[in-house]
Amino acid sequence: MNSLTPGGSEAARRFPDGFLWGVGTSSYQIEGAVDADGRGPSIWDTFVRTPGKVNRGDTGDIACDSYNRLADDVALLDALGVGAYRFSVSWPRVLPSGSGEVNQAGLDYYRRLVDALVEHGIRPVATVYHWDLPQALEDRGGWANRDTALAMGELAAVLADALGDRVSMWITINEPLQTVQQGYLNGSHAPGRRDPALAAAAIHHILLAHGFATQALRAGIAGAIVGPTMDTQPFNALDEDAAPAAVALDAEYNRVYLDPVLRGSYPADLRADLMPPDELVRGGDMALISAPIDFLGLNYYRPHYVRSGDWADLRLGERPVAGWPGTVHYMPPDLPRTVMGWAVVPEGLRDLLIRLHGETGGLPIYITENGCAADDYITPEGTVEDHERIAYIHGHLEAILEALTAGVDVAGYFHWSLMDNFEWAEGYRRRFGLHYVEFGSGRRLQKRSASYYREVVRTNSLPPEPRAPTPARAAGEPTPRVGEAELPEAPAAV
């Protein structure tokens, strides 16, 4: 994919007029203030207190303290010049018991946020559910209980009523795949279950929640723009013998969520133990789940690879593909990886966009997340030179331009994330932000990638090439203390 490398024509590097540039965050990852103003507990408050579940026992109790630093965050967004901000609503802040009584103080926080965004000309894009389920609902069975889907419809109606005059664009659910895989199959995320029967029920109910939320948002907001966010994960087979396993994994990870929404049915080749049982799928459910959507949200970080190989002879980093003897998950050794261990393959995004363009019948697709963790640090000059992240963004934007050229309606890009935050089971050790957060003081500091991204947004085009490092300190100049200095052209660190 080199058609757009430096030297490619300027027109070829431009994004379409009206392309929506944004950044994203989610409530539990940034807000902190878990006991403030009547918020109820979420499954993540419980999970982080379960020994051994989160790196170093980190919690979201304080996180980026965004609940109390709303104005600071909006100032960062303003300085980036983005047209949109994707945030999520903390369900237990708004409905502390999951359903029923509304906590007005919680709603008021989101009201203040969207008012401030609109005042700065930044379009609010709200995610109804980004993983912080009220513990009260978990106590009644969580996503394995159909009532949770109904409760999410109730939440969406409350949000439509409170914020619908200011928020027109809504994402119903974020990555149902991760709720099911990590929450119900491998137990690495809240609520930490490992039970395929519960997972099968969760699949159906989280999709149903998307359906109820879509219905409520459309009923409550004239002209609402509504869609789900999926993290469709490409599986590539490296040889013919591994191809059937790749198809099966595509059903288990991707088509099980895409097909119901886009076609109204579960894929026939889905792993039998994950197929939602008939008694859970009531008349009308599939029609509700497949009601028209306005866009597809796509989170893309990396693809996967499988190859045929003897299970007795695994190489380092490989593991068997469950249910497919003689097939292994594999990482081609020549691929660059981020500190998460995730392969960096921008052309995987291009190919996925082309696939989804076909599957959605040409719906607009927003990249609702894309980004990378890196071992960022503050230099003695007081800057954060995250060139790895700049290269990551650059490559993926190039891939989006190629998809656009191929005719895909990519309508926007939201970088993950506005700032370093609580990265779920990884805690604070994985930094995904365009801004460095000094956890403890809560100070935010612009990274080099923020300047790069600001330039992309300002020009609505891909810069000729990522900027090279610019070591700046003159001889004899004193070294600023960590966190003291500011980047050139940066908004004041707040």
**Which of 402-406's residues contact partners 24+ apart within 8 Å by CB, and which partners?**
402/1, 402/3, 402/4, 402/347, 402/350, 403/349, 403/350, 403/353, 403/354, 403/357, 404/15, 404/16, 405/12, 406/350, 406/353, 406/354, 406/357
Distances (CA, A) of 21 to 199, 407, 455: 35, 19, 11
Nearest residue (CB) to ligand FCB, 168 versus 299: 299
Q: Rule CB under 6 A: say whether 398 interacts with ligand FCB.
A: no
Per CB under 6 A, which of residues 152..181 are in contact with ligand FCB? 174-175, 178
Nearest residue (CB) to ligand FCB, 44 versus 266: 44
Q: Using the Cα atoms of residue 88, residue 91, residue 92 and residue 96 in order, give the sign of their dihedral.
A: positive
Q: Please state the closest distance from residue 132 (CB atom) to ligand FCB, in A.
A: 10
CB 212 within 8 A of CB 280: no
Q: Rule CB under 6 A: say whether 416 interacts with ligand FCB.
A: yes
Q: Please state the closest distance from residue 173 (CB atom) to ligand FCB, in A.
A: 11
Q: Please state the closest distance from residue 8 (CB atom) to ligand FCB, in A.
A: 30
Distances (CA, A) of 268 to 232, 254, 272, 357: 18, 13, 9, 22
Distances (CA, A) of 93 to 90, 129, 131, 134, 164: 5, 12, 13, 9, 18
Q: Please state the closest distance from residue 158 (CB atom) to ligand FCB, in A.
A: 23
Q: Hey, is 85 helix, strand or coil?
A: strand
Instruction: Based on the residue annotation, tell me whether 175 is a catalytic residue of this protein.
Output: yes
Q: For residue 233, give the DSSP letter.
A: -
Please tell me the count of residues contacting ligand FCB according to CB under 6 A.
12
- Choose which of 13, 22, 26, 374 interacts with ligand FCB (CB under 6 A): 26
**Ramachandran class of 142: left when φ > 0, alpha when ψ lies in -120 to 50, beta otherwise:** left
CB 460 within 8 A of CB 19: yes
- Choose which of 413, 432, 439, 452 interacts with ligand FCB (CB under 6 A): 432
- Choose which of 64, 414, 423, 457 interacts with ligand FCB (CB under 6 A): 423
Instruction: Lay out the site mask for ligand FCB across 214-233 (x = CB under 6 A, - = otherwise).
Output: -----------------x--
Nearest residue (CB) to ligand FCB, 28 versus 452: 28
Q: Rule CB under 6 A: say whether 424 interacts with ligand FCB.
A: yes
Per CB under 6 A, which of residues 242..271 are in contact with ligand FCB? none
Nearest residue (CB) to ligand FCB, 188 versus 215: 188
Q: Please state the closest distance from residue 127 (CB atom) to ligand FCB, in A.
A: 9
Q: Which of 31, 138, 175, 426 is catalytic?
A: 175
Nearest residue (CB) to ligand FCB, 259 versus 369: 369
Q: Tell me which H or E stretch contains 366.
A: strand 365-369
Q: Which of 31, 138, 369, 423 is catalytic?
A: 369
Q: Rule CB under 6 A: say whether 420 interacts with ligand FCB.
A: no
For residues 345 and 382, what is the distance between their CA atoms, to the nearest angstrom?
31
Q: Quick one: tokens of 292? A: 């028209």
To the nearest 10 degrees (0 to 180), the angle between helices 387-405 and 346-359 is 30
Nearest residue (CB) to ligand FCB, 65 versus 285: 65
CB 196 within 8 A of CB 254: no
Instruction: Based on the residue annotation, tell me whether 486 is a catalytic residue of this protein.
Output: no
Q: Hey, is 428 helix, strand or coil?
A: helix
Q: Please state the closest distance from residue 229 (CB atom) to ligand FCB, in A.
A: 8
Give the catalytic positions in this structure: 175, 369
Positions in the binding site for ligand FCB (CB under 6 A): 26, 29, 174-175, 178, 231, 299, 369, 416, 423-424, 432
